[in-house]
A and B are shown apart, each in its own frame.
Chain A
Amino acid sequence: MTNSRSLTRRLILGLGGATLLVWISVPTIAALRLSKVVDDLSDDLLKLTAVFMEPALIDEGKVDSDYIRVPGYTPSFEKYWTVRYSVEVNPRPSPGTPALDGFSQTATDRIYTLKMPDGRILRVAEPLDLRRQSIKNGAALVLVPILVLLPFSIAVWWMVIRRSLAPIKVLQQEIGSRDGCNLSPVGVIDLPAELAPIAASVDRLLERLRTALDRERECAANSAHELRTPIAGSLAQMQRLVAELPQGSAKTRARGIEKALSSLGSRVEKLLQLARAESEIGVAVHAIDLVRAVRLEIEDLGKKPQYAGRLILDVDGCPSLMRKVDVDAFAILLRNLIENALIHGLPGTPATVSVRTEGSIAIANAGPVVPLPDLEEITKRFRRGATGAAGSGLGLHIASMVIKRIGGSLELASPARGRDDGFEAIIRIPP
């Protein structure tokens, strides 16, 4: 309702305004019409009064009745009062009162003048205040109920419009809550006929999107299986061959192939991660404990002989950190940053992973300082700093892509905070 483009607001303002205009116009027109009717009726009555009074005046002495009283009769100037009318016989001419037959009006009275056969003039006057009062009373009869009913009507409009538009709001909330991580059908039942096709279309679209994403995930899983398994078989066979071959050139060559296969495995892993980072991974519906994911990754990496004993986890004061992120996306992000620290850190020195309550996770390693221009470039694809260590040049690029999808930030610092050397990657994920 706060949105000026809200349909409910527009409907209430538009319909309310139009109805209000109609309701104001109706009594106004009625009042004008009433004024005309009252004037006509009053004129007719004024004329009738004069016409019926005329014989009474001719037949003198019969004018005194319940309706016409003669307080003091003088032939030259007589004034008769009725309940409503003032009657003058032989009035004195005055500048504001035309002495003609028929109707005329002064500032205060409506007058009907009748010329009697004996030459006398009968003038019947009605105070205009009486007419105005009649019109006011009539108009009030129409207007007062409208004014009384108006606030109640506005409240009823409001309720009816809100109630009628409630399904739109429900549908809006249902569709609004859908994103890359919640693709369940809208499933809003009892929608009006106008909205049901929209919900059905959205459901069909979500279904297609869900199917597409499932296929993409399945494709990624199948690709992983199809690529990793033959490499694993070849590497294992080559390692068996290395173990069985006697020392010599054949063994040296076999070791070279083993190393190449191992490197191929790492590259396949990075390319699969890159494919995932470029796809749908990111936020999630439910919060996960990032500390648990950090522990799992550290435990897994720590089991690798080349990284054994080189990882330190610092979760001082932060036993858990709940965030709505996709656990696989977060694991890809974290693994790349930790592997980066281990590969490019000084050999034999530890890499520290620190988790803090405000939602930051910092991965720091010892090593030479990375110049600022390099620091700004190393998150680009296949861009590497001045390092001789083995690496694909994709790790930080993947990490920077994933952190964007998660909705967090990645800060790279060199030297690492609180020391003179090294490198530190700090990720911040808002609640």
Chain B
Amino acid sequence: MALDAGSGALGANPVQRVQLQTGVLTLALLLLSLLCTPLRLVFGWTWPARIRKALGLLAFVYAALHFLVYLFDKGILNSDFGLQTILTDIVKRPFITAGFAALLLLVPLALTSFKGSVKRLGFARWTALHRLVYVAAALGVLHYWWGVKKDHTQPLIYAGVLIVLFAVRWLWKKRKPASTGKKRPVGGV
């Protein structure tokens, strides 16, 4: 993005371009972080779980950037538009409400991504808290869907991937008691 900005390749409407790109990156990273567990369940790979935290935190960073661009775009510094517009937007427009809610849900997850947090919260509570990522990802996809004017191909792809990822978790959960049962119960995240 910085490269493009330097070379003018962000096009005629750079704010919109950056807005879209940070949003898409947030979703892509969130879905990648949600892919780690299914990879372990299906193929027994453990390495994706090691980069899961990085993926999740990076998703949060992009979500925050996405929100900052929105604040800038709505003229937070400009008294003519500013805070009132943003509050109206969040309350009145489901599209913005969904996106904002998703961002809010990611905040506690990012705050409890330190090593000590699991210990402090207790494993069960920490796991329960981090299940919020499911809601956040679903809201994120909905936000993207509503934000598109007509061509829903891209949001549809994200929705499809999310559904597959959820389905794998659900199937494994259902299967587990029936099969060997020697697997330790693990957190779903």
Partners in one complex: no
